Amino acid sequence: MKENEEHMKVVRSRHAGACYGVERALSLVDEAAANARSEQGDTEPVHTLGPLIHNPQVVSELKEQGVEVAATVDEVKSGILVIRSHGVVPSLIEDAQDKGLRVFDATCPHVSKTHAAARELRESGHLVVIVGEPGHPEVEGIQAYAGDDALVAQSADDLPAELARDKVGVVAQTTQAKETLDAVVAALRERGIEPLVRNTICFATKQRQETARELAEQADVMLVVGGRNSGNTTRLAEICAPVCPRTYHVESPDELDPTWFEGAETVGITAGASTPENQIIAVEKALLAHGKQRPILEAGDEDA
């Protein structure tokens, strides 16, 4: 930082960083690793089925602790398999158990609620529309409960010209923006369809999006901390950019460019639900390394 930037104010969003589901997943991995160590000192393999969370630094740290990532159940020959926070197709858990693997299910409880909502809509005869990203692991898991004819729409434009039936139910990927869900529902209503909507966007996501937007409106520069492969973190950057053009999505403090902050009086920081506290603190410390002011954490920054 330059001398004239020493007194730049750094403000963290009231709701930022790892949510309950991510913290639970990390806790379950720690439990799995502890279970893998026998009293004789032997250690059985521990794998996560896909990245536990969409945060490359966390995945790298887990690898250093001996927790490997497996792309498929077939890759895991023995030991413990941890189901990622995004959830999986239920048949994969059955396959793992049939192989004799010990399964630790770290599926986020909010994702599990979405599975239940999708299954309920399917069983009641609805064509299920999933508002989310095609190919995302969470969406693939939801599809397994929603039925073979379920549709995935990342926007209203993704809806096909003709639907198989007018009895439609809607669920959402837990990290989707409410505006996207509303747009898809509005498009269905314009066709004369009154869908049964289950708003399955998790409260933590909603909090992070709303408070990030509020902070971006006050900031000269906005930093969004978290994995670039994290959908919810990317959406925070997308939400902030229109109201704060100097918005930057970073994974680590090494990416910070001093020119970003020239003339800035207030820098806002938010972070995705898959971003641990230590990664946010690392960015804050880098910003304040040459300054005299500590970060200002807005009142009520603890999650409900």
C-alpha–C-alpha distance, residues 278 and 284, integer Å? 10
Q: What percent of the chain has pLDDT over 90?
A: 77
Catalytic residue (one of 31, 61, 138, 238): 138
| Mean pLDDT rounded to a whole number for the chain | 90
Q: Render pLDDT for 165-176 as a digit per residue (tens, 0 to 9).
A: 999 999 999 989
Which domains are present in the chain? 3-18+204-297 (3.40.1010.20), 20-108 (3.40.50.11270), 110-197 (3.40.1010.20)
Number of other CB atoms surrounding residue 66 within 10 Å: 12
Q: Which of 161, 155, 203 is nearest to 181 (CA)?
A: 155
C-alpha–C-alpha distance, residues 184 and 171, integer Å? 11
The per-residue pLDDT for 115 is: 97
239-250 burial by CB neighbour count: b if 16+ within 10 A, else e? Answer: bbbebbebbbbb
Q: Render pLDDT for 200-256 as a digit per residue (tens, 0 to 9).
A: 999 888 899 999 999 999 999 999 999 999 888 999 999 999 999 999 999 999 999
For the chain, strand residue ranges (E) read 9-12, 46-49, 67-70, 80-83, 102-105, 127-131, 151-153, 168-172, 196-197, 221-225, 247-250, 266-271, 296-297
The per-residue pLDDT for 261 is: 92
The per-residue pLDDT for 35 is: 84
pLDDT of 296 above 60 = no
Q: Render pLDDT for 34-73 as a digit per residue (tens, 0 to 9).
A: 888 764 456 889 999 999 998 999 999 999 989 999 999 9
pLDDT of 302 above 90 = no
Q: DSSP H helical segments within 156-261, as ranges?
A: 178-190, 203-216, 231-240
Q: Which of 249, 201, 196, 203 is nearest to 222 (CA)?
A: 249
23 given a catalytic annotation: no
The per-residue pLDDT for 41 is: 57
Q: Render pLDDT for 8-28 as a digit per residue (tens, 0 to 9).
A: 889 999 999 999 999 999 999
Number of other CB atoms surrounding residue 154 within 10 Å: 17
pLDDT band at 77 (very low <50, low <70, confident <90, very high): very high
